[in-house]
Amino acid sequence: MRARYPDVFDRPASARLATPAMIVAAFAILIYGLVDLDFSPSRFVAGLSQLGWIGRMMIPPDPGSSLPVYLKALGETLSIALLGTTLAAIFALPVSLLAARNVVASKILRFPVRRVLDSIRGVDTLIWALVWINVVGLGPFAGVLAIAVADFGAFGKLFSEAIEGADQKQVEGIRASGGSALHEIRFGLLPQVLPVIAGQVLYFIESNTRSATIIGIVGAGGIGLQLAEQIRVLEWQKVSFLILMILVAVAAIDFISSKLRFAIIGRRAIA
Amino acid sequence: MTVAVSILPEQQLAVLNAAYRQAVARRRWRLFLGTVVFAAALFLAAVGAEVNLRTLFTYFGNFVSYFDRILTLDSGQRVWTDVGEWLWGWRKWLKMLAETLLISYVGTLIGATFAFILNFFAAENTSPAPWLRFVVRRLLEFARTVPGIVFALVFVIAFGLGPMAGVLAIAIHSTGALGKLFSEIVENADMKPVEGIRSTGASWLACMRFAVVPQVTAGYASYALLRFEINVREASVMGFVGAGGIGQELVVAIRKFYYSDVSAILLTIIVTVFVIDITTGWLRGRLFGKEARA
């Protein structure tokens, strides 16, 4: 066998060593990183025992007497996610048309639009939340605006990709029958991309429930505010209860939005 | 050449038209109902989130002027007129940025390693026992659903302030996210090589090593790179809760109203994210060919 397939058995050293060399390099950087970020084993072990203690303190989860406050905060979080995502989708749709190659042919217009979207996307939601707190003050409204802006960047990109993926034949048909550019978009493009876009928006509402739970940490409303507060005052039973609430809420939203997505686009389109 | 357009008799047409109208009416009714429910939900949400349009309009000027302020130096000039003054702290910022990148690198690698170990237990076709699969899956789900920054908050208390808490938080979150994606790749792998190796009497470990891993490594590397990109963004805010990286500088600058510093730090973050996005995109293209990128 060795004689019949020489190149399987006698690979050159460079090919055989390439993978191990890459793995060694990756782990060398890891070790350097661990040293540079002051990972010391003693600190790690001490932290772990501390963590174990925290874990024991968390059981059983208990809201104490603040259950109504937490429920209200959860409602606030869901509201932030829903409103923020809707606002972002409404504003992103026209802009995404400008960023799509098959709608706007000139590169001069498309390029700046895309770079602006990229820049917005490069900044984390939490940073946007901090900026909006400076503008409208502490509270959930800042959270809504933060999510709206952060998602605007993401939606702009996703929508424009959906539009570029659309079939051009319908558009050509409408152009042939004498439709204007607006007609082309309204009757040729939108019917094709709306189901895709609706699916993405629903998916983002889902993932934004997660983001909305944390923007409270910087003071932009919702359940994250309660969570950060309880962690700071070391009320671990309340913390674990809040985490459980978040998990249940996210699971519920996951379930509802996947049902809705199936209803809108049909089961086949997702799989 | 003439084309005959067939004209249906009146009665037949009436039936078809009625059916058509009914179908359209039903669709419109459903759309209308959906819109009403959605609008009601939005209204409820607006009340819940204390949306106040008046605040927005009164303060919208603030939003615009905020950008005006962060683009102005203390001397009252625009930032780009004096780049040296604008980026005065670049040595410190670059160091913090390097720390951010290191946090996300170490976190991603640790997370990917754990995800690699766990995903074989979570995938339907390779898991040795159903109860084990159930446990591992719930574990991964938990690690994924709890936001990274919440882990960071807890770890800062357990491990003390500093990048260690950030790394561990990112590692746990990545384990959850990558574990799920990895196990999905394994579920799509071809099982025939596994059968072949099992028929030689090999153990479960050998089956995984020689039949599954060679099929899936490319997919793993691609997802891990994608995760690294996301983690860079996440590591940039870990500093908000004291878990190291450039976020610390940013939050101080924002809270203390050092306006031009805010824009300078934001600029470095955005540029870094761009560079990382482009590099990893290029790397994925190099490693796995054009199709793997799509």
Six token digits for residue A181: 């550019």
Out of A100-114, A123-137, A176-190, B35-49, pick the least confident: A100-114
Q: Which of A14-23, A188-197, B19-28, B38-47 has the highest mean pLDDT?
A: B19-28
More confident residue, A62 or B140: B140
Six token digits for residue B276: 């990382």
Six token digits for residue A239: 């913390």
Who contacts B108 (Cβ-Cβ below 8 Å, separation ≥6)?
Answer: B170, B171, B174, B224, B227, B228, B231
Q: What are phi and psi of B75, to 5 degrees?
A: -75, 0
Q: Could you tell me the pTM of the whole model?
A: 0.79
Are A61 and A237 a contacting pair, CB within 8 Å? yes
Q: CA-CA distances (angstroms) from residue B97 to A130, A215, A251, B250, B263?
A: 19, 22, 35, 11, 15
Give the separation between CA A226 and CA A96, rounded to whole angstroms.
36
Q: From B104, which residue of chain A is nearest by alpha-carbon distance?
A: A33
Model confidence over A254-263: pLDDT tens digits?
888 878 777 7
DSSP B83-120: HHHHTTTHHHHHHHHHHHHHHHHHHHHHHHHHHHHHHH
Chain A positions in Cβ-Cβ contact with residue B250 (cut-off 8 Å): 127, 130
Least Cα separation, residue A91 to chain B (angstroms): 16
Model confidence over A116-125: pLDDT tens digits?
888 888 788 8
Sign of torsion over alpha carbons B185, B191, B194, B196: negative
Of B62, B241, B254, the CB nearest to A217: B241
ipTM: 0.76
Six token digits for residue A221: 């409303």
Give the separation between CA A51 and CA A57, rounded to whole angstroms.
10
Residue A270: its pLDDT value, please?
44
Q: From B109, which residue of chain A is nearest by alpha-carbon distance?
A: A30
How sure is the predictor about A167, in pLDDT bands with cuts at 50, 70 and 90?
A: confident
**Interface with B, mutate which of A76, A83, A91 (most B CBs under 10 A):** A83
**Interface with A, mutate which of B146, B167, B230, B231 (most A CBs under 10 A):** B146
Which residues in chain B show pLDDT less than 50? 290-294
Chain B interface includes A148 (CB < 8 A): no
CB pairs under 8 A between A and B: 166
Least Cα separation, residue A51 to chain B (angstroms): 6
Who contacts B257 (Cβ-Cβ below 8 Å, separation ≥6)?
Answer: none
Chain B interface includes A119 (CB < 8 A): yes
Chain A interface includes B147 (CB < 8 A): yes
Are B71 and B85 a contacting pair, CB within 8 Å? no
How sure is the predictor about A9, in pLDDT bands with cuts at 50, 70 and 90?
A: low
Share of chain A above pLDDT 90, in %: 0
- CB-CB under 8 Å, B102 with A54: no
Chain B positions in Cβ-Cβ contact with residue A29 (cut-off 8 Å): 105
Who contacts B263 (Cβ-Cβ below 8 Å, separation ≥6)?
Answer: B70, B71, B79, B86
Who contacts B127 (Cβ-Cβ below 8 Å, separation ≥6)?
Answer: B120, B121, B133, B136
Model confidence over B272-284: pLDDT tens digits?
888 888 888 788 7
- CB-CB under 8 Å, A141 with B50: yes
